[in-house]
Amino acid sequence: MLFMVIERFKNQDPIPVYRRVRDPGIKFPDSLTYVGSWIEPNFDRCFQLMECDDLRLLQEWVLANNRDLGMTFEIVPVVPSKETREVVAPYLDEE
pLDDT in tens, 23-76: 877 788 999 999 999 999 999 999 999 999 999 999 999 988 777 888 899 999
CATH number at residue 34: 3.30.70
What is the model's pTM? 0.85
What is the count of structural domains for the chain? 1
pLDDT for position 28: 86
Q: Which residues form the domain of 78?
A: 2-91
| pLDDT of amino acid 27 | 81
Residues paired with 78 in a beta bridge? 2
The predicted pLDDT at position 82 comes to 95
